[in-house]
Amino acid sequence: MQTVKLAIAGFGTVGTGLARIIEENKDVIFARCGKKFSITSVLVRDLNKQRDYFPGPDVKFTNDLDEFTSSPDVDIVVELMGGTTVAKDIVTKALEAGKHVVTANKHLLAEHGIELFEIAAKNNVGLYYESSVAGGIPIIQSIKESLAANRIKSIVGILNGTANYILSEMSTNGLEFDTALEQATRLGYAEADPTFDIEGIDAAHKVVVLTRIAYGKDYPLAKLPVEGITRIEGQDIRFAREFGYRIKLIGQVRDVGGKLEAGVFPALVKYTLLLARVGGNYNAIRVEGNAVGPAFFHGQGAGSLPTGSAVLADIMALSKTDTPDNTGFCNAPIEKADILAPEFATSEYYFRFSVMDKAGVMAALSKCLAEHNISIAQAVQKGNPDDKEIPVVFTTHKASTKDVNSALAEIDKMPFITRKTLSMRILKG
């Protein structure tokens, strides 16, 4: 009987969950893979912090980075600290010391993944990261193994539970953005600094990771178009509903004639799609392959035990293999993606114009859109004659981002416009 020794960097929510699963499910884990897993050391910032769960008396807690990384008595290093500085150092040293690494750190992978995969390859060790995208949902393994025979046409996901919780609360309980964010923070769904979640940055990290595993290509984070949910108002949620849509923060990558189009953006999702039904802080991903068709995955995108479940799946997988496959393209180097310039992306759109209620407004808006090849599908104007500002909402047929950008730049300079126009893509299928 073999015992696999684990060193864990970071013992917060996920680390604690991992330790609990190792203890509570050890019989089924042993039956499944014939191995025992034992935590030998844990790196923490504060040795004196009160903790809900301790993984047994034999586990050495340390706050000394050198002591942690130099321990020879380790098979797999588990990085659960987050961030890109100390975490990068720990992962690099572990790989160079010939140890497998399991990480939940999408930020690190998005920024430095290519470099880290190279170090792992040089040392013939695994760098696994199932938990870095969509928590407990087995999306990395599924794309890497189960859908490996497919040419991936697109991946569309709800990849950030905090943003989805906020949008769901706005939709279900009629809250405005600020109130919903406040509530998410109070309930512990949003971090003290929610920037990464609400500005789409966390989802962007995940899109970069998904793009690599699906296409074997690197779409640099810095080039990814990213838009958050902070400009969405209660009225947008209600307009969307009237038209038969729910607003979701979407992370997407798709193959458009051999080029990759990727991005993070809020979108109106047709209510009949399963993606529109993803509530609260859940995550979901739809992968479309040229053989499998659309495959949809839904589950807990974060949290102690769900993320711990994904971390442990990686640990168990690495404990069984002599030939780890980190990128899913073991026979091809990860090369720079051939990127579809964002302005050439096409989509149906939702525009909410904020205007003064004057004669000729609708005509001016329609004329400008038509001049930029944008064809209107539906239009709604609301409000009372006394309102200082009223919303005019259009949905459009397919238009290019370029045309949309130039039309809206022109419109936003028109004298009757009271605030910057909000535009969102529409996803129907």
Active site residues: 206
Query: Is the CB of 92 or the CB of 154 nearer to a second copy?
Result: 154
Of the candidates 88, 121, 124, 153, the one whose C-alpha atom is nearest the C-alpha of residue 292 is 153
Query: Is the CB of 61 or the CB of 297 nearer to a second copy?
Result: 297
Residues 100-139 that bind a second copy (CB under 8 A): 130, 136-138
3-state secondary structure of 273: coil
Q: How far is the CB of 310 from a second copy (least distance, A)?
A: 7
393 is an annotated ligand-binding site residue: no
Question: Of these, 96, 226, 297, 362, which contacts a second copy (CB under 8 A)?
Answer: 297
15 is an annotated ligand-binding site residue: yes
| Partner residues linked to 426 by β-bridges | 268, 348
9 is an annotated ligand-binding site residue: yes
Using an 8 Å Cβ cutoff, are 79 and 12 in contact? no
Query: Is the CB of 171 or the CB of 396 nearer to a second copy?
Result: 171
The label of the residue with tokens 């039309």 reads 407
Question: Of these, 10, 14, 16, 17, which contacts a second copy (CB under 8 A)?
Answer: 17
Crossing angle of helices 86-96 and 106-122, in 10° steps, is 20
329 is an annotated ligand-binding site residue: no
Enumerate the H helices of 174-253 as residue ranges.
177-186, 195-198, 201-215, 234-243
Question: Of these, 65, 121, 260, 292, which contacts a second copy (CB under 8 A)?
Answer: 292
Binding segment for a second copy (CB under 8 A), chosen from 235-243, 311-319, 384-392, 399-407, is 311-319
11 is an annotated ligand-binding site residue: yes
Of the candidates 304, 308, 418, 311, the one whose C-alpha atom is nearest the C-alpha of residue 358 is 418
Question: Of these, 86, 316, 368, 377, which contacts a second copy (CB under 8 A)?
Answer: 316
Query: Is the CB of 120 or the CB of 312 nearer to a second copy?
Result: 312
Secondary structure E strands in 319-411: 335-336, 346-355, 376-381, 390-396, 399-400
Query: Is the CB of 38 or the CB of 62 nearer to a second copy?
Result: 38
243 is an annotated ligand-binding site residue: no
Q: For residue 28, count CB atoms less than 10 angstroms from its CB and return exposed for 0-12, middle for 13-18, buried for 19 or more.
A: exposed
4 is an annotated ligand-binding site residue: no
Q: Assess 4 for contact with a second copy (CB under 8 A).
A: no
Q: Assess 153 for contact with a second copy (CB under 8 A).
A: no
Q: What is the DSSP letter of 156?
A: E
Rounded to whole angstroms, the Cα distance separating 201 from 107 reads 9
Tokens of 220: 């640099």
Residues 205-264 that bind a second copy (CB under 8 A): 216
Q: Per-residue string for binding with a second copy, 36-65, x by CB under 8 A?
A: ------------------------------
Rounded to whole angstroms, the Cα distance separating 174 from 234 reads 7
User: What is the number of other CB atoms lying within 10 angstroms of the CB of residue 193?
Assistant: 8
Q: How far is CA 303 from CA 15, 192, 266, 389, in A?
A: 11, 16, 23, 42
Q: Assess 356 for contact with a second copy (CB under 8 A).
A: no
The residues binding a second copy (CB under 8 A) are 17, 21, 24-25, 28-34, 130, 136-138, 141-142, 145-151, 216, 274, 277, 289-300, 303, 305-306, 308-310, 312-313, 316-317, 320, 323, 325, 328-332
Residues tagged in the binding site annotation for NADPH:
106
Residues tagged in the binding site annotation:
9-16, 106, 191
